[in-house]
């Protein structure tokens, strides 16, 4: 259910702005999207797991807020991120 260290490093390298960037909004959205997709697969097989469902909803809300921030401050970056991640907005 969680992201492996190798997958996390690969996502950070794909979405980082600079060499030491690990916490920008783009990186955070990419990591949250990966966690959301993992939890979505978990929820398909464990439909009654309400604790994981709550965690999934929290992650979706956090990603939504970050995307809202990107849309208001850096619209071009926002468009690039949702296109690369395949999100519908």
Q: How confident is the model at residue 1 (pLDDT cuts 50, 70, 90)?
A: low
pLDDT tens-digit map of 30-89: 999 999 999 999 999 999 999 999 999 999 999 999 999 999 999 999 999 999 999 975
How many domains, in total, are found in the chain?
1
Domain coverage including residue 64: 5-85
Instruction: Give the dihedral sign, CA 40/45/50/52.
Output: negative
CATH of the domain at 16: 1.10.287.10
Q: Does residue 5 have a pLDDT over 90?
A: yes
* Per-residue confidence (pLDDT) for residue 4, from 0 to 100: 93
Dist. CA 23–CA 21, nearest whole Å:
6
* Per-residue confidence (pLDDT) for residue 60, from 0 to 100: 97
Dist. CA 12–CA 6, nearest whole Å:
10
* Per-residue confidence (pLDDT) for residue 2, from 0 to 100: 81
pTM more than 0.95: no
């Amino acid at each position: 259910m969680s992201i492996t260290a190798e997958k996390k490093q690969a996502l950070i390298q794909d979405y980082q702005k600079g060499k030491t960037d690990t916490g920008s909004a783009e990186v955070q959205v990419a990591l949250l999207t990966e966690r959301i997709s993992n939890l979505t697969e978990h929820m398909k097989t464990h439909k009654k797991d309400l604790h994981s469902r709550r965690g999934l909803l929290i992650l979706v809300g956090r990603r939504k807020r970050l995307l809202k921030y990107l849309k208001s401050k850096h619209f071009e970056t926002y468009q690039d991120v949702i296109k690369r991640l395949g999100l519908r907005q």
